[in-house]
Structures are given as C-alpha cells and as structure tokens.
Structure 1
C-alpha cells in the first residue's frame, strides 16, 4: 500500500505544478518613481541671503549695464526665492525609478530703479555655503511661479528653454522657445520620459554627441566667480550649472539633516 500512496502524491504534485505554470502570471508591482528632493527652508533662506551680499549686488549691477544700458542707481533684491529644477539625466536614460528633475538653483529677483529685472541664481558649494553662480536677464522663473499647483515645482528643459509645472504624476508645459508639446496640457510622466529619452538619450555625458561638443547635456567646469560673471546664455549656463548643483545640494542637504538631527537630540 505505501507505493500507490507515494504515486498518488507525486501525481498531485505534478498536476499542481502544471497548473501553476499554465496560469497567467501576475504582473510585478510597478516601480515607484522618486520625487524631486524638496529644498529645506533653511537652505532657501541661505540662498536669499546670498543674493543680498555686496558681491551679489555687484553681479546684478553688471548685468543691468549690459548692452549699453545705464547703471541703476539702486537695486532691490526680493525677500524670497524660488527653487528651480532641471531635467535629470537618469530620467532621460529611461530609469523608471528616477525623479524627472534635480535641483539646479534658487531664483532670486533683482529689480533696478527703472523697473528692469534680472534673476540671480544661488546654489550651494559642497560645504553648504551659498553663493550667486550667475545673473540672468529677466525674471521668467518668478513670472511663471503663479502657474504652479500647490504640489508642483518649476522644471526646466534647457535644450528647448522649456519651463514646466512638475507634479508627482505629470508635467505641464508653461513656456518654451522650441515647444515640443502643447502648452498648458498635462502629460503623464511616463509619456514625458519617453519623449525626452527619444530627444536626448544619445546626448548624455560620455556620448559621442557630447564628446564632439554638441549641446545636449554637456558638462563643463566653471571658472571661480572672483569677478562679476558676464550675462550668460541661458541654455549654455543651464547645461553647466545643473551638472554641478546636484552634487553640491546633496552634500549640503545631508549636512543640514545631520545638524537638524543633532539639534533635535541635544537635551
């Protein structure tokens, strides 16, 4: 009797295994996409403070004098700043878990006494010290800020000078020099990732395109800002700054978190 019993158990096991193999396979849970890293309030305050230093004011004054314009008698610096994010290379590569953007700079508006505006871009050094990395004519960032939803941030696609409202699920094009999608139309992040992968995946750092000095995601090392920086081309300046700011912000954020944690645990 033991032999038939073993036969029946083996037969049952075989049937169960066959059914399991023939059954439709359950789909794996979708990869959870990372979101952009929010800027701590203390970091935002430090960025705004950096825009009020004499050196920063000198940089802004140089910008206002470009093109033969008169030097302003006074310059007023806004008391608030807007964090700006740039298209992230990992997102462009097609990584389903990558956040669409990474921190680039804090935009702080400077206004001359005749009404002209410029944007001072503040970013941190690896040690967490904030300084002005460039001054850009106009105030596109702050003019677009009212269009951002409460859960959105401003995302830049520098290759087309495109500005988007980025939320955890979609991007909406607000303005662009070379628009690739309709304005004010939400695009799911999966679709947007496919679009930018098609446009730029072969232009990332290390690619033949980049090595041949194409624009794409070209990375360069900026000169120290010992002298007032010239008014930069927004696209070229973006491509340089965004490659640097991510490393600096990560270091600064970790330092802030360590300090914040120590303060919370100090009796």
Structure 2
C-alpha cells in the first residue's frame, strides 16, 4: 500500500495557510468597509457608524450647550498671529450668552480622525489596514462660516466610554479630509508632516501636498512601502523617545486624557501656534510655542 501520510500532512498545512489568509483578507475588508462617510443626520433607519464606539455619546456632545458655548467663545476671541514663548496673556470677559449676536450655525455630526498607529510606525506589526491606522479623535466642523471664520470641534475618548470636548481649532481641514472616506477606503493623517492619505485596500494615495512630498512625489505606494517610509522618519520619535519628551512630537498615541467628566481646563487650539484656554469661567488668551512639524 502506498504511504499517503506525507500528502495528507501537506494538504493540512496548505489548508491551514489558506485559512489564515482568509482571516487576514476578511479582517482587512472589514476594516475598509466600516469607514465613516460624510456627516449626516442619524435616524431610526440610518444606524450609527459601527466603527466609532459610543457614537451616540459623540452626537450628544457636539449638540450640547457646553460645546456650542465653547465654540462661540472661540469665535468671539481673536487669535494672535505668530508663535513665541512668554507672550502677553489677555483676560477675556466672561459672557453669560456667548453665542448671542453671532450668526446662526450648527455643528455637524462627528467624523473619525485616524492616525498612523505606533506599532505600524515602529515596524512591529504587519502592513495591514487593521494594523496601520487607529482612531484617535472625532472631528466636527461648522455648518457655515461665522464672520468669515470656521472652526473644528475635536472630541477625545473618555475613560469608561463616551467622548468629551478636547479642543476647538481654527479652520476645518481635519473635518474636510476625514469626510473624504468612502465605502471601501480609509482616510488617515500623518500628523508630523500634516499629510493626509487615502488607503484603498493596501494602496496608499496622497490627498494633499504634504502627503505627496511624504511619498517622494509618487502618486501611490503599497502599504508595505509606506510603512518603510514612516519607520525611517519616525521610529526614533515615538512616545517615550527624546524627541517626544522634549515636546517636538505631534504624537502617535491616543489622547492621554481620559477623565469621566468634562475637562476643567479646555484647550482651544488656534492658528499659528496660538491657543485659548477656558479656565475657571474666565477665558485666557495666550501665545505658546508652535509645535514642531519635523
């Protein structure tokens, strides 16, 4: 009788490899198909985005009076131009009705803001969509400009579930790019260079000039090649490295703050390295050092 044990073993190994490959493909497809599209109203017939945990809490946050008042205070306060350390601090009088007299606006539904993941940058994980990016924040822009100015509400995850207001930022760049995600694609940012990319299966395509420069002028690269690029650029700049501890890093981890309540001091990030801080009912306007982007 012919010995078929070797053939049987080989067949089992091939089946095992195929099974593992199927799992990887399924995970990648699931990650790509669970992206967030453009902002929209949520109804009973329109389920909440499955890829954003506690999305109803995020909706409640951006529609709350506290967040709206914070945005109004931000829009009422002129942001100083330029960076610099030790600039003057100006106290802005507290207003009982911060939105009074401002044009009517609404805050759009939150969108996912994805960043390249630390493990992907470090090169300790495979170049797969499920490993390459992670959800770090949610962003919401305004329905219209207010006195010629737009703003973006940024939400951070709260410990134990939910979302809280992390910042209000000048402009709507984050929300505009986050809104470019479609069924079958992921959009993510490389924060160090302010580059925005679209991930189609395992192909990375640039969405802005910074991203095109980050790819060396190429119109697209494989996810594996992109991993090599960011590893070379940032492996020595991850959280915990000298680059990070000295305050140069734009960050690749989740927000460190994860309180169960609204933050008592809220950073409102303005343009050109300026910031607004709401503290103790008074609004303080100060200049701070511009974040390094290289």
Report if TM-score (shorter chain) is over 0.5: yes
CA shift for structure 1 position 205:
2.1
Quote the Cα distance in structure 2 between the aligned partners of 1:141 and 1:169. 23
My pick for the range that moved more, 34-43 or 128-137, is 34-43
Check whether the contact 1:163–1:175 (CA below 8 A) recurs between aligned residues.
Answer: yes
Q: Deviations for 1:91-135, whole angstroms, at most 9, x for unmatched residues?
A: 001134361111011211124543522111123212112221111
Q: Which has the higher contact order (CA 8 A, sep 6+)?
A: 2
The match for 1:108 is 140
Which one of 185, 198, 215 corresponds to residue 181 of structure 1? 215
Q: Show the 5 A alignment for 1:30-69.
A: 32=24, 35=28, 38=34, 40=50, 43-67=54-78
Check whether the contact 2:79–2:270 (CA below 8 A) recurs between aligned residues.
Answer: no
Task: Give the superposed CA RMSD.
Answer: 3.9
CA shift for structure 1 position 66:
3.5
Quote the Cα distance in structure 2 between the aligned partners of 1:234 and 1:97. 36
Query: Against the structure 1 CA distance between its residues 211 and 218, is the aligned structure 2 distance closer, same or farther, given a 3 Å change threshold?
Result: farther
SS at 1:230's partner residue? strand
Aligned residues: 212
Check whether the contact 1:58–1:228 (CA below 8 A) recurs between aligned residues.
Answer: no
CA shift for structure 1 position 236:
11
SS at 1:214's partner residue? coil
Q: Show the 5 A alignment for 1:120-159.
A: 120-145=153-178, 147-159=180-192
Which one of 221, 228, 232 corresponds to residue 194 of structure 1? 228
Quote the Cα distance in structure 2 between the aligned partners of 1:160 and 1:205. 17
Name whichever structure is richer in helix by fraction: 1
My pick for the range that moved more, 148-157 or 207-216, is 207-216
Query: Against the structure 1 CA distance between its residues 163 and 234, is the aligned structure 2 distance closer, same or farther, given a 3 Å change threshold?
Result: farther
SS at 1:56's partner residue? helix
Check whether the contact 2:57–2:163 (CA below 8 A) recurs between aligned residues.
Answer: yes
Q: In terms of Rg, which structure is larger? A: 1
Q: Show the 5 A alignment for 1:21-36.
A: 32=24, 35=28
Check whether the contact 1:162–1:175 (CA below 8 A) recurs between aligned residues.
Answer: yes
Which one of 204, 212, 229 corresponds to residue 267 of structure 2? 229
CA shift for structure 1 position 60:
1.0
Q: Which runs of 5+ in 2 are unaligned?
A: 1-5, 7-16, 35-48, 81-97, 276-294
1:86 aligns with 2:126: no
Q: Which runs of 5+ in 1 are unaligned?
A: 1-15, 17-26, 238-267
